[in-house]
Amino acid sequence: MADATTNSYNSEDEASFGDFFALLKPRVMTLVVFTAIVGLLAAPVSVHPVIGFASILFIAIGAGASGALNMWWDADIDRVMRRTRKRPIPAGKVTEDDALYIGVALSGMSVIMLWLAANLLAAAMLAFTIFFYVVIYSMWLKRSTPQNIVIGGAAGAFPPVIGWIVATGSMAIEPWLMFALIFMWTPPHFWALALFMRSDYDDANVPMLTVTHGRPATRFQILVYTILLAALAIGTAFTSIGGPVYLVVAVVLNAMFAKGAISIWRRDEDMADADDYLVERKFFRLSLLYLFLHFGAILIEALLKPFGLGGW
């Protein structure tokens, strides 16, 4: 009996610590951590390093928890899509129930700990972010409207606001500019991905813009959002979180981004097929650099301020 049990058990399915960590979407967490740090350091109030470190860690854990809950809810479509097939649940490493329990436990822990480490407003904003990502985006918008990633993008845009609130304990206009930057950046970023992932979203019945409105319309929408984003990103240079360094970075990056969006708009599927979506892939990679360097420039401006530099 014992032998039969041992033989039928597939040890390959036993999860490692890394599989549980993968549930937290570590790559998304790096973006959350970085933008939250920028929000925290750009605030006009200094934070004790230990409190700052703990707060960023709990924001990251909260983001990771929402990632685990997203994987629990989306396990059925993750099995279908090539991009997500190797995630811990579709790979058979972690059960859906385990992902749910880990997600709920870490959500509660991160929110309470952020409250204790920083303040109630920051904790409430983290709780709302988790709710927005899991319920509003994953459960409701993702499978019901092509505006899924437009509205759902807000979930990824909250971390710098939370970082700012950790430092100040209150709201201000500046963190919402950072929020707007990520919010406007999300659609062209994901639509470029949807273009070169081809049938992934069709197969999973996810109503991405490429599926509901077609690829030419998606290419046009990428251009529209890129132009709006450029106006916002360059305009931010003239606010209190901007400055000369940020302005130079924003002008150069938005020129490159706009050039990429125009190239995507001018192409059709035959041209994209011919070079295996080279332009779309380049645009997607540039979008990652775009966000990192914009927030890096905001961080530089903030770090220069104590030396009488930075800002206008």
Partner 1 sequence: MSFRTEHEIHQRRKGRNIGLGLSLAGFVVLILSLTVVKVTRGDFALSVQSSTATQEGN
Residue 300 is a binding residue for partner 1 (CB under 8 A) = no
Residue 50 is a binding residue for partner 1 (CB under 8 A) = yes
Task: Identify the helix (H) or strand (E) that includes residue 13.
Answer: none
Q: Answer yes or no: are the C-beta atoms of 250 and 181 closer than 8 Å.
A: no
Minimum CB distance to partner 1 smaller for 51 or for 100: 51
Minimum CB distance to partner 1 smaller for 117 or for 264: 117
Candidates 47-55, 161-169, 217-225, 254-262 — which segment interacts with partner 1 by CB under 8 A? 47-55
Q: Answer yes or no: are the C-beta atoms of 175 and 161 closer than 8 Å.
A: yes
| Residue 53: CB minimum distance to partner 1, A | 8
Candidates 10-18, 128-136, 184-192, 276-284 — which segment interacts with partner 1 by CB under 8 A? 10-18
Minimum CB distance to partner 1 smaller for 2 or for 173: 2
| Residue 11: CB minimum distance to partner 1, A | 4
CA nearest neighbour of 61 among 90, 121, 102: 102
Cα atoms found within 13 Å of the Cα of residue 304, Cβ hemisphere only? 17
| Residue 93: CB minimum distance to partner 1, A | 10
| Residue 111: CB minimum distance to partner 1, A | 15
* Pairwise CA distance, residues 260 & 185, whole Å: 14
Binding to partner 1 (CB under 8 A) within 100-129 occurs at: 116-117
| Residue 14: CB minimum distance to partner 1, A | 5
**Amino acid occupying residue 207:** P
CA nearest neighbour of 46 among 171, 166, 178, 176: 166
CA nearest neighbour of 97 among 81, 77, 127, 75: 75
Burial 92-107 (b: 16+ CB within 10 A, else e): ebbeeebbbebbbebb
Which of 11, 306, 307, 308 is close enough to bind partner 1 by CB under 8 A? 11
| Residue 54: CB minimum distance to partner 1, A | 5
* 268 phi and psi angles, rounded to 5 deg: -120, 180
Q: Which residue has the tokens 């984003």?
A: 229
Which of 20, 128, 131, 176 is close enough to bind partner 1 by CB under 8 A? 20
Cβ neighbours around 162 below 10 Å, total: 30
Using CB under 8 A, count the residues that bind partner 1.
Answer: 14
Binding to partner 1 (CB under 8 A) within 169-228 occurs at: none
Which of 5, 8, 14, 308 is close enough to bind partner 1 by CB under 8 A? 14
Cβ neighbours around 287 below 10 Å, total: 24
Residue 16 is a binding residue for partner 1 (CB under 8 A) = yes
Could you list the residues that contact partner 1 (CB under 8 A)?
11, 14-17, 20-21, 48, 50-51, 54, 57, 116-117
